[in-house]
Chain A
Amino acid sequence: MTVNGTEYAREVEPRLLLIHFLRDELGLTGSHWGCDTSNCGSCIVWLDDRPVKACTLLAAMADGRSVRTVEGLERDGRLDPVQQGFVECHGLQCGFCTPGMMMTARWLLDRHPDPAEAQIREVISGQICRCTGYENIVRSIRWAAEHPGGTR
């Protein structure tokens, strides 16, 4: 499995969930888990360029594929505009849902660089935040859309 550009080879139990593989095996604890029923979205990573709820896939299903996590959002030490947007617009409070929100946001902006607010709300509607009331998450993603090169 390639994760954030690095190849890993491990022997795992078939039942090992992808989120546990990333967190416990590879130490990539930026992606989280928060429920038992695939509702909260705090585990969202990319699998072959599509966001996926990593709590609902087996690591074995990602064998031979490519995964991208929040740790791989920044490139060469430069923060992604999505990450910058979340800081500029106070899009996070406790930070637990944030990696999942940012991974979905990055995927949305790659396909729709100028999304309307309604579209943003729709795309994150499978992810729960308990702190922000979603308003500033939407604004953060709009900021990233308006600053595709980030700042600095």
Chain B
Amino acid sequence: MQVPSHVEYERATSVEHALSLLSRPDTRVLAGGHSLIPMMKLRLAQPGVLVDINDLAELSYIRLDGGQLRIGALARHADLLDSAVAGQLYPIFHDAERVVADPIVRLWGTVGGSLCQADPSEDLSAVFAAARAVAVIRGQDGDRQIPVRQFHLGPYETVIGPGELLAEVRVPVHPGVGSAYEKVARRVGDWSIAAAGAVLRLSGHRIEDAGIGLTAVGAEHFVAAEAEEFLRGRAPDEENLREAATIAAARCHPVADQRGPEDYKRHLVAELTARALRRAAERTRAGR
């Protein structure tokens, strides 16, 4: 088995301690480690100092608070999958978490870690973007809030700076929202070939707001913005949902690789966006 190169290790005893450690050069946050350590083993990442934040229980929570679902960055994937409140408000979380990695990795990998890894194939990026979530970034001078749609600068790059830590993700809660996630992979546990998440808020029989997140197809900020715009004000009927899906497929940038050729990926975006929208619409009607 491949092994990492030399690295130093610090264990944070508090958030303040973590932030102070992270303001030193060449440091990286070590949470679940299930993105970082594999990269270190392959020597694709060679940080100087790891700051282990697993003891920071104050960052591990999932709660409904004042019209927002607040998810601590250290919440494990399994916690989100097991959370009844999260699943009721946003079934998209359960749809997605069920197909992230595998059941054992989900016990250790964290929601925050996945978002910060910023892998273009990361399912949660599209999910939180579809839900128009906000990232709360904590620094030594306090918190700043960045919409998840502005959180990622590019593959493996986020807006988090030195001396900062992703503390929480806040998801707005509205009554009557329906959501769903559809993913296709070559095999259980594999990265998405493509995936689509949909969050629909209806007002009467019109879509008041639509969030469409796309995974692994080079969608800007993981969203299908034009498709979302198309749906605003329209009825959630099959024809409109299909048209939105077509727009989403036309506007993303899938790249051919061993998961599939470009034409297939684009087709998949259309197919899965339509399916996610349909299920999200059904779930608004079902009141969940």
Q: CB atoms of A and B under 8 A apart anywhere in the complex?
A: yes
Q: Which of A20, A34, A35, A126 contacts B105 (CB 8 A)?
A: A126
Chain B residue at minimum C-beta to C-beta distance from A32 = B1
A38 and B50 within 8 A (CB): no
B103 and A122 within 8 A (CB): yes
Residues of A contacting B52 with CB < 8 Å?
60-61
Binary contact track A38-62/B, C-beta < 8 Å → 1, others 0: 1101001000001111011110110
Chain A residue at minimum C-beta to C-beta distance from B37 = A56
- For residue B88, CB closer than 8 A to chain A, the reply is no
Chain B residue at minimum C-beta to C-beta distance from A39 = B189
B9 and A58 within 8 A (CB): yes
Residues of A contacting B41 with CB < 8 Å?
17, 36, 55
Task: Report the Cα distance A13→B3, complex, angstroms.
Answer: 12
Q: Which of B1-40 contact A (CB under 8 A)?
A: 1-9, 11, 30, 33-34, 37-38, 40
* B106 CB to nearest chain A CB (Å): 9
- For residue B256, CB closer than 8 A to chain A, the reply is no
- For residue B61, CB closer than 8 A to chain A, the reply is no
Residues of A contacting B105 with CB < 8 Å?
38, 53, 56, 126
Chain B residue at minimum C-beta to C-beta distance from A59 = B9
* B109 CB to nearest chain A CB (Å): 9
A56 and B107 within 8 A (CB): no
Interface centre among A13, A34, A56, by most chain B C-beta atoms within 10 angstroms, is A56
Q: Which of B30, B102, B189 contacts A61 (CB 8 A)?
A: B30
Task: Report the Cα distance A34→B6, complex, angstroms.
Answer: 22
- For residue A14, CB closer than 8 A to chain B, the reply is yes
A56 and B38 within 8 A (CB): yes
Binary contact track B77-110/A, C-beta < 8 Å → 1, others 0: 0000000000000000000000001111101100
* Total count of chain A residues near the partner, CB < 8 A: 32
* B79 CB to nearest chain A CB (Å): 11
- For residue A132, CB closer than 8 A to chain B, the reply is no
A61 and B103 within 8 A (CB): no
A125 and B103 within 8 A (CB): yes
Residues of A contacting B101 with CB < 8 Å?
126
Residues of A contacting B7 with CB < 8 Å?
14-15
A58-B33, A61-B52 as given contacts; A126 in contact with B104, CB under 8 Å: yes
- For residue B54, CB closer than 8 A to chain A, the reply is yes
Interface centre among B6, B52, B101, B104, by most chain A C-beta atoms within 10 angstroms, is B104
- For residue B42, CB closer than 8 A to chain A, the reply is yes
Binary contact track A1-26/B, C-beta < 8 Å → 1, others 0: 00000000000011101011000000
Task: Report the Cα distance A13→B40, complex, angstroms.
Answer: 14
- For residue A63, CB closer than 8 A to chain B, the reply is yes
B9 and A56 within 8 A (CB): no
A35 and B1 within 8 A (CB): yes
Task: Report the Cα distance A51→B41, complex, angstroms.
Answer: 21
In the complex, given contacts A38-B105, A125-B189, what are 19 additional A-B residue pairs having Cβ atoms less than 8 angstroms apart?
A13-B6, A14-B6, A14-B7, A14-B8, A15-B5, A17-B1, A38-B38, A39-B189, A51-B104, A55-B41, A56-B38, A60-B52, A104-B104, A125-B103, A125-B188, A126-B103, A126-B105, A126-B189, A127-B102
Can you list 6 pairs linking A and B with CB atoms under 8 Å apart?
Answer: A15-B40, A38-B34, A50-B108, A51-B104, A58-B37, A125-B189
